[in-house]
Structures are given as structure tokens and as C-alpha cells.
Amino acid sequence: MTQDDLTIADPKMKAEGVDVFYGDKQAISNVSIDVGTDLVTAFIGPSGCGKSTFLRSLNRMNDTVASARVTGRITLDGEDIYAPSMDVVQLRARVGMVFQKPNPFPKSIYDNVAYGPRIHGLAAAKADLDGIVERALVRAGLWDEVKDRLGESGTALSGGQQQRLCIARAIAVDPEVILMDEPCSALDPIATAKIEELIHELRGKYAIVIVTHNMQQAARVSQRTAFFHLGTLVEYGKTTDIFTNPKQDRTKDYITGRYG
């Protein structure tokens, strides 16, 4: 793997020689990658290649799996996120996550977005909280659709709206990085287009990492693409390079549809 001109001067997150094990089984081996502050980074690869596993190790969601073990070094702003001094709760507030299946809480739209700021004590007064909720919903492109029914249940929204609600919930705590784990795989093409548009708008405000099965999506939304195969990082580069001029045969085979 070559870095070439890819080296990011001041990476938001940096992974060096990361291995992830589930029990005895190694899911990820020796992955090193930089996540740029103003960039959208896409992880692509066939099912089971470990891209979601790697994504979940970036905000320590793997901690919830008892058998999971991470070695190597992952840093956020130069700080080792697996160091004992790192508070995992704070880490997850700084590195937000959007999941494959929209998973709003069975609470009102308002409470869904307000939950994060509430538990972190980000708003002193009700008015501040209202402001945070509104800004998050505006950023997630959902405000106009829900502003008159903030008291309704988040689960009553359509699938695409639910996913944008989840994005609003993630950005309400003002994270630095947003991890998206196949955020569109449960959505129809119109809802998918809206999410992609949203990712464009969020770029620059947050470092975004997106896992996707859909290579067109990776090509559309990202500036950097990493191709994973069988638990290893095969190729990482500028999205345009990966899709037009892959250096590795395996990458070429995958993006031309030979396997995966």
C-alpha cells in the first residue's frame, strides 16, 4: 500500500497497525489509516471484510462485545483512545455514530435529539436546548418536515426521516467525527439521495467516515476511499484514484464487479 501524496498533515483520527480479534478469530489485521478533518472517508469492501468492525473500533463500540479485543494504536487528535485515561463516554460524544438500521428511541422527535445534550449537560436552560435541537434538525435537513410535530414519536417517521433524525441526534452533541455504518442500506433511492446530499453539506463541519456497500455512493460522497478485503486494508487513496486507477488487482476486480 502506498501513501503518496495522501499523507494528511493533521489527521483527526489516526490508526496505526490496528488488529481486532473476536475471541481467537482475527477480524482485522494491521490496518493503518488517517482520517482527515475536512474529508469524507469511505470504507468499501465485500460483506464480512471487517470494514464495520474497524469502524466500530474507532469509537470503541466494540467494547460492548465481550470477546472483542483491539491492539495497535488509534488516536483522536493525537490522544490514544484505548488509553486507560480515555473516558469512553466522552469519546463517543466526540465520535458520534449513525447505524445501519435507523434506530430512533421510542420517544418524541424532540427528546430523541435532546437526549445527548441532556446527558452531557450541554444546555443550561430549556431555551438553549430548544436551540440545540433546532440547529441539529436544521443541519440534518429535517427541520422543515418535523418542526410542527416535535412532540410526535420518532418511530412514527418514515425510514429516511428516521435516519436523518438519527444523524440529527448524533450532531446534537457537537461531535468532531461522525461514523456512519451503511446508513442508507435500509432506505429507498430517494431517501438515500437525501442522506448523500446531507453528507455533502456536513462535510467540512465534521470528519465523516462512511461504510458502504454501494460503490457509486462511495464515489459520490467521499474524497478518500479505503478498500478492505478479508480483514486487511488492501488500498487506500483518493476516491478518484481508487475508482479510475486502482493500483491493486484486488481493488480493480472488486470495483469492476468481479467479486464481492
Partner 1 sequence: MNRNTAPTDWTAPAMQKRIAARYAAERRFKALGLGAVLLSGLFLAFLLTVMVGNGARGFTYTHVSVPIDFAGTPLTVDAARLSDPDADQMIANAGLADIVAFAADEALGDGGSALISENAWKEVRTEIKADPEILTGKSVFELPASSEVDIAAKEGAKGELGARVDALERDGRLSTGIHWPFFRNADATDPAVAGIWGALKGSLLTIVIAFLIAFPTGVLAALYLEEYAPKNRWTDLIEVSINNLAAVPSIIFGLLALAVFINWFGLCQASPLVGGLTLALMTMPVIVIAARNAIKAVPPSIRDAALGVGASPVQVVFHHVLPLALPGILTGTIIGMARALGETAPLLLIGMRAFIGDVPGGICSPSTVLPMQIFLWSDEVDRGFVEKTSAAIIVLLIVLLSMNALAIYLRNKFEKRW
Q: Does 155 bind partner 1 (CB under 8 A)?
A: yes
Q: Does 116 bind partner 1 (CB under 8 A)?
A: yes
Q: How far apart are the first and last CA of the chain?
A: 20
Distance from C-alpha of 73 to C-alpha of 186, rounded to nearest angstrom: 32
Among 17, 23, 106, 204, binds partner 1 (CB under 8 A): 106
Among 21, 75, 108, 120, binds partner 1 (CB under 8 A): 120
Among 13, 170, 218, 226, binds partner 1 (CB under 8 A): 170
Closest Cα partner for 15 from 250, 226, 230, 248? Answer: 226
Instruction: Give 163 or 192: the residue with its C-beta nearer to partner 1.
Output: 163
CB of 81 to partner 1, least distance (A): 13
Contacts (CB under 8 A) with partner 1, residues 13-72: 59, 61, 64, 66
Q: Does 168 bind partner 1 (CB under 8 A)?
A: no
Closest Cα partner for 199 from 240, 150, 245, 164? Answer: 164
Which residue intervals of the chain are DSSP H helices?
A: 51-57, 88-94, 109-120, 126-139, 143-146, 159-172, 189-202, 215-221, 239-244, 249-255
Q: Does 110 bind partner 1 (CB under 8 A)?
A: no
Distance from C-alpha of 207 to C-alpha of 37, rounded to nearest angstrom: 5
Instruction: Give the up-direction half-sphere exposure of residue 26: CA atoms within 13 A in the CB hemisphere.
Output: 10
Pick the piece of the chain touching partner 1 (CB under 8 A) from 15-23, 33-41, 85-93, 215-223: 85-93
- Count of beta carbons in the 10 Å neighbourhood of residue 57: 25
Residues in contact with 41: Cβ distance below 8 Å, sequence separation at least 6, in sequence order: 33, 35, 207, 208, 209, 210, 222, 223, 224, 225, 226
Q: Does 90 bind partner 1 (CB under 8 A)?
A: yes
Q: Does 85 bind partner 1 (CB under 8 A)?
A: no
Q: Is 189 exposed, middle or buried (0-12, 13-18, 19+ CB in 10 A)?
A: exposed
Instruction: Give 112 or 251: the residue with its C-beta nearer to partner 1.
Output: 112
CB of 169 to partner 1, least distance (A): 6
Among 97, 129, 133, 199, binds partner 1 (CB under 8 A): 97
Q: Report residue 193 as a C-alpha cell.
A: 439521495
Instruction: Give 93 or 187: the residue with its C-beta nearer to partner 1.
Output: 93
Q: How many chain residues interact with partner 1 (CB under 8 A)? A: 29
CB of 244 to partner 1, least distance (A): 34
Residues that bind partner 1 (CB under 8 A): 59, 61, 64, 66, 89-93, 96-99, 101, 103-106, 115-116, 119-120, 153, 155, 166, 169-170, 172-173
